Amino acid sequence: MIFPLAVDRILADRPRAGVGRSVLTVPAPTGTHVVIGGHDPTNPEDGYPIGVYAATARDAGGSATTDGARALAWLRTDRPLRAAAFHPTEPLLALGTGSYDGGYFFEGQLVLLDLASGEHRYLFADDCRREVRFLEWTDANTLRLLLAPPDDWKDPAAWSEGHRVDLTRPDWRALPARSVRHKDVLGPRVPAAQPQPTPPVGGPDEDRPRPGEIRSLTLLPDGDILLTADHALLERWSARGERRWSVPADPELGGGRLAVVADGASAWVETLGPPRRDRGEFLRIGLSAGTELARLATPGPAALVTTSEGPLLVPMPAGYGERAWSRFRHGPHAIFRDIPRPPCTCGCPWDGDEDCDCDCTCPLCTVGGEAEEVWLTVVDTAVPTGDPARLAFPAAERCRRLFPWSWEPGEIHFGGPGAWVGETDLVMATVRYDGHVGGPKQGFVTRRPTGKGSSGIPSWAFPVDRTPTALDIDPSSGTVLVALRSGELIALDSTTGTLRARGHVHVRGVPVIPTALTVTGPGRFLLGTNDGRVLACHVKPT
Task: Return the pLDDT at 524.
Answer: 95
Task: Return the pLDDT at 438.
Answer: 55
Dihedral sign for Cα 390, 393, 399, 401, please.
positive
Q: How confident is the model at residue 139 (pLDDT cuts 50, 70, 90)?
A: very high
The residue among 180 and 512 whose pLDDT is bigger is 180
Task: Return the pLDDT at 302.
Answer: 83
With helix as H, strand as E and coil as C, how does 62-84 read?
CCEECCCCCCCEEEEECCCEEEE
Is residue 227 scored above 90 in pLDDT?
yes
In terms of pTM, does the model score above 0.85? no
Is residue 32 scored above 80 in pLDDT?
no
- Asked, for residue 284, whether it belongs to a domain, the answer is no
Q: Please state, as a whole number, how many other Cβ atoms lie within 10 Å of the Cβ of residue 354.
A: 12
- Asked, for residue 380, whether it belongs to a domain, the answer is yes
- Asked, for residue 530, whether it belongs to a domain, the answer is yes
Task: Return the pLDDT at 355.
Answer: 45
Is residue 345 scored above 60 in pLDDT?
no
- Same domain for 422 and 453, yes or no, is yes
- Same domain for 53 and 35, yes or no, is yes
- Asked, for residue 219, whether it belongs to a domain, the answer is yes
Percent of the residues in the chain that have a pLDDT greater than 70, as a whole number: 78
- Same domain for 332 and 358, yes or no, is no
- Asked, for residue 119, whether it belongs to a domain, the answer is yes
Task: Return the pLDDT at 252.
Answer: 87
Q: How many domains does the chain have?
A: 3
In this predicted model, what pLDDT tens digit does every residue of 410-440 receive, in sequence order? 888 888 899 999 888 999 998 887 765 555 6
- Compute the distance between CA of residue 436 and CA of residue 146 in angstroms, rounded to an integer: 32
The residue among 360 and 110 whose pLDDT is bigger is 110
Query: In sequence order, what DSSP letters do the residues of 139-179 get, joined into one string?
Result: ETTEEEEEE--SB-TT-GGGGTEEEEEEEE-S-GGGPPTT-
The residue among 293 and 50 whose pLDDT is bigger is 293
Q: How confident is the model at residue 208 (pLDDT cuts 50, 70, 90)?
A: very low
Last residue of a domain, one of 352, 371, 390: 371
Question: Which among 143, 120, 134, 2 has a CA at the least distance from the CA of 52?
Answer: 120
In this predicted model, what pLDDT tens digit does every residue of 244-293 receive, in sequence order? 999 999 988 899 999 999 888 999 999 987 655 567 899 999 999 999 99
The residue among 60 and 507 whose pLDDT is bigger is 507
- Asked, for residue 288, whether it belongs to a domain, the answer is no
Question: Which among 155, 75, 81 has a CA at the least distance from the CA of 120?
Answer: 75
Task: Return the pLDDT at 370.
Answer: 47
- Same domain for 517 and 394, yes or no, is yes
Q: How confident is the model at residue 367 (pLDDT cuts 50, 70, 90)?
A: very low
- Asked, for residue 256, whether it belongs to a domain, the answer is no
Among the ranges given (34-38, 67-71, 77-81, 523-527), the one the predictor scored with the smallest mean pLDDT: 67-71
Mean of pLDDT values over 12-23: 55
Is residue 184 scored above 50 in pLDDT?
yes
- Same domain for 179 and 47, yes or no, is yes
Is residue 142 scored above 50 in pLDDT?
yes
- Same domain for 171 and 71, yes or no, is yes
Mean of pLDDT values over 343-364: 46
The residue among 159 and 19 whose pLDDT is bigger is 159
CB neighbour class for 214 (10 Å; exposed up to 12, middle 13-18, buried from 19):
buried
Is residue 67 scored above 70 in pLDDT?
no
CB 314 within 8 A of CB 258: no
Enumerate residues 6+ apart whose C-beta is below 8 A from 343: none
- Compute the distance between CA of residue 341 and CA of residue 318 in angstroms, rounded to an integer: 10
CB 256 within 8 A of CB 236: no
- Same domain for 388 and 412, yes or no, is yes
Mean of pLDDT values over 501-528: 90
- Same domain for 417 and 503, yes or no, is yes
Is residue 320 scored above 50 in pLDDT?
no
Where residue 416 sits, what CATH number does that domain have? 2.40.128.630
Is residue 74 scored above 90 in pLDDT?
no
The residue among 284 and 454 whose pLDDT is bigger is 284
Task: Return the pLDDT at 148.
Answer: 94
- Compute the distance between CA of residue 405 and CA of residue 322 in angstroms, rounded to an integer: 15
Enumerate residues 6+ apart whose C-beta is below 8 A from 154: none
- Asked, for residue 493, whether it belongs to a domain, the answer is yes
171 dihedral zone (left: phi>0; alpha: psi -120 to 50; beta): beta
Main-chain dihedrals φ then ψ at residue 214, nearest 5 degrees: -75, 125
Task: Return the pLDDT at 514.
Answer: 93
Is residue 489 scored above 80 in pLDDT?
yes
- Compute the distance between CA of residue 239 and CA of residue 478 in angstroms, rounded to an integer: 25
Mean of pLDDT values over 496-517: 88
Task: Return the pLDDT at 279.
Answer: 77
Is residue 201 scored above 80 in pLDDT?
no
- Same domain for 348 and 404, yes or no, is no
- Same domain for 67 and 181, yes or no, is yes
Task: Return the pLDDT at 507.
Answer: 82
Range picked from 25-34, 75-84, 436-445, 501-510 for highest mean pLDDT: 75-84
- Same domain for 396 and 360, yes or no, is no
Main-chain dihedrals φ then ψ at residue 174, nearest 5 degrees: -100, 5
Task: Return the pLDDT at 162.
Answer: 94
Among the ranges given (2-6, 89-93, 267-271, 383-387), the one the predictor scored with the smallest mean pLDDT: 383-387
Task: Return the pLDDT at 207.
Answer: 44
Task: Return the pLDDT at 84.
Answer: 92
- Same domain for 354 and 225, yes or no, is no
- Residue type, position 354, single letter: E
Q: How confident is the model at residue 159 (pLDDT cuts 50, 70, 90)?
A: very high
- Residue 352: which domain range? 342-371
Task: Return the pLDDT at 196.
Answer: 66
